[in-house]
Structure 1
Amino acid sequence: MCRPRTSPAQTPPPSGSPRAATFPRPLPLLRPLEANREVHRRTPRTPGPGRGAATLGHAQPSGGALSMRLPDGNILMSCAGSAFHRWNLTVKDFIALTPAGDIVDRPAGLGAAATTTHLAIYRRFPDANACLHAHSPYSLAFASLGLPVPSLTNRMDMLGEVPCIAADDTRIKADYLANPRPLQLPAGMSPRPDAAVVNLEHIEPQIEKVFGPRGHELAHHGLAFTLYRHGLFAFAKSADEAFDNVARVEEAARTALLQAVLGGDSGRIQLDRLFPATLTPSAGRRPDTYRGPP
């Protein structure tokens, strides 16, 4: 459970403490966070972690977050506002946290508003070592309507249909601001209790319900979901795999929208037009067609 915040600007431990020594400078763990190798090769001139995803449009400067489980069990979490650097991230854009959210080392800011969700994923899924949240435009089109992203490309067969997790965050935030109450927030998170209450009490229980029975799949591939009117989450064994999963979901979402245009029917997207009999639940795909908005 996350420990209560002691102050909005908690001072990091002394540099000589055992905890502080676990956050190396310069941080070599940033190198594998740049993007998956395929994206990296395609965009060799764009610096910084996440550069490939940003250049290809998968990660937008409007928001998002990146985290990774460190070898010592602590969590490397991107700071609030780091996406506004257009994903050209450096050491100062991250904070090191304990699994409970206490500060291990803090080069600059505090963790993003979704810090509690990242920490909850690491606590619940021991095989998850990286979590990427991005405002990816094609999957966001589906999330804006509360629709899942269908599995209709071969690269999506392992992930299956990507569900949309929904909460009436506007109402929930307004209710909280009108009737505030104490919340146990991580010390290393930006002081956004109105946003945290949505994640703690509505989003994270749904993640447990939807993905709890699927945790064993992380040994073989990542898992992904969208948040209603918000964006895409992917968590996996490594940052490379999380970036790759975001690319797969975006590819499927884009293909679904283009398929609807080519087919002349935006209300009916076909998962497998030529071989519908091969669709099986074990492949993570429904044995019928995906019906979009009317």
Structure 2
Amino acid sequence: MIRDTSEFNSAPWRKIGWDRLQQVRSVPTMLAGAEQKLYYWLTSEWTRDIGAVVDLGCFVGGSTARLAAGHQSAGKRSWIHAYDRFKADERTKKNELYRKGIATFKGENTYWLTRDLLEPWDERISLHRGDIMDKRWDGGPIELLILDAAKSADTTDGIAERFFSHLVPGQSLVVQQDYFHWRLPWIPVQMHLLSDWFQPVAFCPDDTVIFLNTRQIDDTALTAGRVGGLDDDALLRHLTEVQPLARSWRQRRRIYRMKRTVEANPGVRTGHLMNDPD
């Protein structure tokens, strides 16, 4: 049975007061305010505790803390699994950590910092350190999958192969945090190719799109949604198919920028290697 998603139409997370997120303010995050409230709402109001919450690409735990706060407030018992390399270069440390109150430290390792920041929710969070492509999931059903790690086409395929088949049809959500990011055109293409298995239910400014899994992900789905082997012409063709589905002029412009990026970076399938066409 497909769960009713009409409540997403009114974006109820916007009504959440910042007082409910007071405890997480000490955990730095790159999430916009609306996204922070969304994550809290998803674990406090949407999930039914029938599977794990998986956070792929948690940086130093900013997204994980927002998920855990909602999870805790609702008395949920399933585990939250957070994955990252737990590394940050000096530029990232300066811009995303030191400016947000984190004391300076030597080296790139952020694992122990993340452990300290997430200590208030330690009994419900499991951290997984390393390259996601080296991981396997054996934790049972996944009820909520947060994606901020699909930084290359191959990783996008790898995430699908490792995690999508564990989603619960009719209930599980996939949150594509970088859906409209100009450097990552394979993300909207993947979800377009998987439109028989996923239904978009909400948009959260500026880049995030939320999808409901509607059918069991099997080998047929994984093959249909594979983006790593697409050449530039195929990628552009699918982006053209995606563009009319964007709900606003601004979103359509963002898809159009992705197309220009593919044209300006032939054969490139890694986000940080994409040169800005503008």
TM-score above 0.5: no
Larger radius of gyration: 1
Larger fraction in helix: 2
Higher RCO (CA 8 Å, separation ≥ 6 residues): 1
Give the TM bin, normalised by the shorter chain: under 0.3
